Amino acid sequence: MRRHRHAKIVATVGPATSAPETLKALFLAGVDTFRLNFSHGVQADHARVHAAIRALEEEVGRPIAILQDLQGPKIRVGTLRDGRLDVVPGQGLRFVLRGAEGDARAIPLPHPEIFAAVVPGQELLIDDGRVRVRVTGIETEALEAEVVIGGAISNRKGVNLPGTLLDLSPLTEKDRADLAFGLELGVDWVALSFVQKPADLIEARGLIGDRAGIMTKIEKPQALERIDDIVRLSDAVMVARGDLGVEIPHEDVPGRQKELIRACRLAVKPVVVATQMLDSMVAAPTPTRAEASDVATAIYDGADAVMLSAESATGRYPVEAVTMMDRIIRSVEGHKLYRSLIAASEPGEEETPPHAVATATAQLAEAVHASAIVAYTLSGTTAARIARKRPSVPILALTPDLGTSRRLSLLWGTHSVRSDEVGTYEAMVENALIHAAEEGFAAANDVVVVAAGIPFAVPGNTNNIRIAQIPAT
C-alpha cells in the first residue's frame, strides 16, 4: 500500500472519526499518522482508538504512527460574578491571585508564576488576543492593567503572555498521568505543548526515554529565541501556528514557518505544519482557495507532514478533508516548479561521513535513474539523512524495529517496512531487492541504490552504498 507522494498527512481523531470503520476510511484516503488530542476526551476513549488503530495496522499490513498530543499548562482567568465583563480601551483593570468570583477590580488570575514574572509594560492577551491589556503596576498578589483592545472577558478564557518567560513546566500533573498512560499503550510520538526553553525537553526526556519520539510544538516566542537547541533536543517539531500566531504578529508567522522547516531539515528532524490548514472543511465539503494555497506553501517549503485538527476530529467531512489534502500534496509535488523550489530551500549540512554518504546516496540514485533508494536503518537516522536531501527517488526504509518503522511513517518520502536483520553483505543486497519488488517500487531489470551501515546494527553508522539490479524474470 504505497503512497504516491512524498509529504505525509497527520489527522486528529475525535468524535467524528473514532469508529474503526472511519479510521480505516481515513487511512485509505491517505492518513499516515493519527493524532490523539489529550486536551479532550478521557483515557478510556483514547485507549479504544489506540486499539482500533493497531487492529487496522494489522489488517492493512502497514506501520501506522500514533501521536499523543499532551494538553500542557492552560493559563486562564477565573470566574466572573456575572459570567462576563465588557471592557473598553483605556479602562483600568485589576487582576488578583486569589478570589472566587470577580469584577473589574478583582479579576481572578490563579497563576502565581505570572505574578512572579510579569513586569510593567508587558501585555496580557485574553481569549486568543481578542482582549489585550498592558500591565501598569505590580503588587505581591495583584496586577494593575490598562485595556489596550476592548471586548468581552468571560469565565475561564485563556491568557497568553508573549513577552514573559514563565517558570512553568510544560508537563502538568494531568500531563504526567496521561504520558504514563500513553507510554503504557505504546504511542509512537509524544507532542509537548508550552515548550519555552531547552530544559523543558530535558525534563520530558527523563520521563519518556526512548519509549517514544518527542515532538516539540513551537507555539511560544520564547522557544524561537532558543530554537537551535530546542530542535537539537527534539525528535520532531510541530509548527503550531494557531497558538504561535496569538503571541507573535500574524504577518511574522509565514516567515517563521519557513525558518522552522529549514532548521529542522538542517538538523535532520521531521517537521509538521499544523493548525487550520483546511479549516472551512469542518463545515463544508471543499476548502477555500486560500486554504489550498496554504497547504501547498508548506509542501513547497519542504515540510515532512501537514496536519488536520478539527477538520478530522469534529468536522462533517473528515474523509473528504484527507482526500483533499492528499490531492493538494500530489498536485504540488507534480508541479514543474516543485523540484527547483525544494532545491533552492535546501540548507547546508554537517560535514561528517554519514551525512556525506547519505547525500551521495540521494545524488547517485537520481543520476542512475534508480527506481528506489533502499535504506537499512535501526534508529531511523539513515533514512532521515537521505530524506533530508528531498530526492526525487522514493525511499524504502528497512528496519527490524517495529517502533522505528512506525515513527518513519512521519518522514518525508519514506515508505517504511519492518524487516528481519541481515548478517552478511550479500544478504543485505538480496533482501533489499526482494522488498523493493514486493512493495511495488521496482520491477525486473530496475536499478535500486542500497544504503547501509557496516557493521550492521550500529545506529547512525551510514557508510556503504551499493547499486543493485532486480534480476530479470
Catalytic one of 33, 164, 275, 381: 275
Inter-helix orientation angle 43-60/20-29, to 10°: 50
Residue 220 a catalytic site member: no
Tell me, yes or no, if 217 is annotated catalytic: yes
Q: CA-to-CA distance for 233 and 269, rounded, in angstroms?
A: 10
Helix (H, G, I), strand (E, B) or coil at 435: helix
Active-site residue (options: 35, 265, 385, 407): 35
Nearest Cα to Cα of residue 260 among 247, 242, 282, 241: 241
Query: Smallest Cα–Cα separation from 91: which of 129, 135, 148?
Result: 148
62 with 2: CB under 8 angstroms? no
Selecting among 76, 197, 226, 330, the annotated active-site residue is 76
Report the alpha-carbon distance of residue 6 to residue 300 in Å, rounded.
11
Active-site entry in 217, 258, 385, 389:
217
Residues in Cβ contact with 29 at an 8 Å cutoff, skipping those fewer than 6 apart: 319, 322, 323, 326
Strands (E), 394-438: 395-399, 414-418
Phi, psi of 428 (to 5 degrees): -60, -50
Residue 212, C-alpha cell as written in the block: 517514544
Known catalytic residue: 197? no
Is the distance from CB of 295 to CB of 328 less than 8 angstroms?
yes
The reply to whether 316 belongs to the active site is no
- Measured over the CA atoms of residue 201, residue 202, residue 206 and residue 209, the dihedral's sign is positive
Active site amino acids = 35, 76, 217, 275
